[in-house]
Every structure is written in structure tokens, then in C-alpha cells.
Amino acid sequence: MAIQQRSTTSTGSSSKILLPDPPIFRALFGNVNWAWMWLIIRLYVGWKWLEAGWDKVTNSAWVGEKSGTAMTGFVNGALSKTTGEHPEVQDWYATFLRNVVLPQAGMWGYVVSFGELLVGVGLILGALTGIAAFFGFFMNLNYLLAGSVSTNPILLVLALLLLLAWKIAGWWGLDRWLFPQLMKLRSH
């Protein structure tokens, strides 16, 4: 993970300037000797997502006959936080919730429920860890924007760290075997 920059000399020729990552970053985010640490973090975050997703998938207010009920309640709770001197939910996000999410609350209930479940499974198995961590980060960000704090700041930071360590975070998981296969497909 080094930044490459081209510079032009006074003679018009171009040269590369490499700015290497600090040794601690190279070690933590690129050395498989630290994969055990990422395994622990990955399993913790994955379990939290799996648990949350499973609770929703097995709840008819999120998925099933009453789908959308829980999502409507969540969105209305977020919309109630848009007033006051220091609103917890910003107007632009409230507009998104009101105009995009609320009219299709049933569909969004499925998206959130199965999204949480899939992020959890991906992280626990170490399968496409960087992608799973990205979607976990994205969901945590949306929950925070909706004014729901809970464990979201902690999970957001851990997901960001997993994103930075994507190359080795799944080393003790399926990514160890998936990446070489994906690279073979890419080369064809």
C-alpha cells in the first residue's frame, strides 16, 4: 500500500515517487502474522450482524406477513429526531427516509434483514471479507444518520478497520482460497 506519484523534472522526464506506508500499517494491514487479530475482530462483528439479521429475518414485522411494520416504526422514530435546536437526524437524511424508504417500508425491511444476515455470514466465514465489511460499514453509517447510536459507532469503526485489512482479514477464512480463484478468473 504505497502511494505512487509521478513528477516531472526540469528536463521533461518523468520519475516515480513512492511514499511507503508506515511500518505499523504494513504490519497490521498487510502481514498475515496479524491475521489472528483480524479473525477475532471479524468473528465479533460478524456475530453481531448475524444475530441482528437473524432476529429480523425470523420476525414477521420485518420479513413476512407484517413486513414493513418494524421499518415504518424505525423510520418514524428517526423522523421524530429531526426537530429541536440540535436535531439528531439531518433534514437531507429525513427527506431520504420520508420519500424513499417509508413508501417502500416492506421492501426495505427485507433488504435490511437479509443484508444484516449476509454481512454476518460473510464476516464469520471470511468470505469476501472486504465487501461484507463495506456493507456493514454502510449499514452502520445509515443507522447513525437515522439517530440510532447503540453499538453502531463501535461496529462502524471495526468495519472500517476490517476494510483497511481486507487483504488479510479473511486469511483465516474462505478468502484464503477464494482470492486465488478470483485472480485466476480475472486473468482470463
* Stretch 7-28: mean pLDDT: 77
N-to-C CA span, the chain: 25
Handedness of CA 49, 52, 56, 61 (dihedral sign): negative
- What would the pLDDT profile of 47-79 be if each residue is shown by its tens digit? 999 999 999 999 999 999 999 999 999 999 999
- The pLDDT value recorded for residue 15 is 75
Q: Which three cell numbers stand for residue 170?
A: 479473511
| Residue 14 confidence (pLDDT) | 67
Residue with cell 515517487: 17
Exposed, middle or buried, 94 (CB in 10 Å: 0-12/13-18/19+)?
Answer: buried
Q: Where are the beta strands (DSSP E) in the chain?
A: 3-8, 14-19
Residue 19's pLDDT is 87
Convert 128-144 to b/e letters by CB count within 10 Å (16 or more is b): bbbebbbbbbebbebbb
What confidence score (pLDDT) does residue 183 get? Answer: 83
Helix/strand/coil percent split, the chain, to 5: 70, 5, 25
The CA-atom distances, in angstroms, between 26 and each of 3, 21, 34, 35, 47 are 13, 6, 10, 13, 27
Percent of the chain with pLDDT over 70: 93
Q: Specify the pTM.
A: 0.85
Residue 121 vs residue 8, higher pLDDT? 121
Kindly state the percentage of the chain with pLDDT values over 90: 78
Over residues 98-133, the pLDDT tens digits come to 999 999 999 999 999 999 999 999 999 999 999 999
Q: What's at 49, amino acid-wise? A: W
pLDDT computed for residue 156 by the predictor: 97
